[in-house]
Structure 1
Amino acid sequence: MKEIILKGRPAFPGKASGEAIVCPDSIQGWAGVDDKTGIIIEDSNIEKGKCIDKKILILPYGKGSTGWSGHFHSAAVSGFKPSGWLFSKIDSRSGVASAVLSIPTIADFTDDIDLFSLIKTGDFIEMDGDTGEVKIIKRDE
């Protein structure tokens, strides 16, 4: 199995691992994730139908209104939350969600690191929000 190591900026501490869900266009808050099931319901999302629970979400940034984090919080209250987040560039929406939900987060990767070409949905991710290190274990292709 091929492994890739990346380094980003630690944004919220903690270690996490799990299967990646890669959303290059992010996930909107309102009508993006079902609050009761944790399933991506945004019609235009390439990962529509997948559950965010215990996954590592790979997103460019938060998408939509300032209530973005509230929708992920509602899903977490229902028992469905990501294990970790990787953001190309963190913004206020994603920063608030990381802190409120206590989800290990790594962000602000350098411009030469394209998360969306390096990581595919189904790859296994090990991440350390204390150091910013990300290990990608490629699924068999």
Structure 2
Amino acid sequence: MEISCHKIASGKASGPALVSKEPISFLGTVDPETGEVVDPKHQLFGKNVGGKVLIFPGGKGSTVGSYVIYQLKKRGVAPAAMINIRSEPIVAVGAIISEIPLVDGVSAELLDLEDGTLITVDADSRRVRTEEG
């Protein structure tokens, strides 16, 4: 399946999907050292965002979340790309300064994808491609 999207942060990346129907506050939810989701109340608790195409409705919480995304990138444990239903400034700034492709404006149906589905995000071409796998 190929769908159109809105570019927030440039780039192209592929990886297995990691999907959350819950918004993510990177500060306090994701360990910036390891990329592991450490908030026991979050749907993705115990999973790692590193190398994944992280699909979630949008961000929430502290503006420090942008810096957490940057720390993830510097430590090599950041998502390969991110897809939001509707992005907001915290995630957008984090993706831009970290050079992580980020798109939004996609259907909420993407939140029903199975984890592990191969996803390619081409923000510059404003396309997301999924392959079952």
Structure-1-length-normalised TM-score: 0.87
Q: Distance in 2 between matches of 1:127 and 1:39?
A: 22
2:94 maps to 1:116: no
CA shift, 1:134, in A, is 0.7
Structure-2-length-normalised TM-score: 0.92
Tell me how many residue pairs correspond in the alignment.
133
Q: How does 1:1-141 map to 2 (within 5 A)?
A: 4-109=1-106, 113-117=108-112, 119-139=113-133
Of all paired residues, the percent bearing the same amino acid is 26
Q: Rg larger in 1 or in 2? A: 1
Q: Which amino acid aligns with 2:48?
A: C
Q: Distance in 2 between matches of 1:113 and 1:35?
A: 27
CA shift, 1:130, in A, is 0.5
SS of equivalent residue, structure 1 residue 114 = helix
Q: Distance in 2 between matches of 1:138 and 1:63?
A: 30
Compute the RMSD of aligned alpha carbons.
1.4
Q: List gaps (5 residues or longer) in structure 1.
A: none
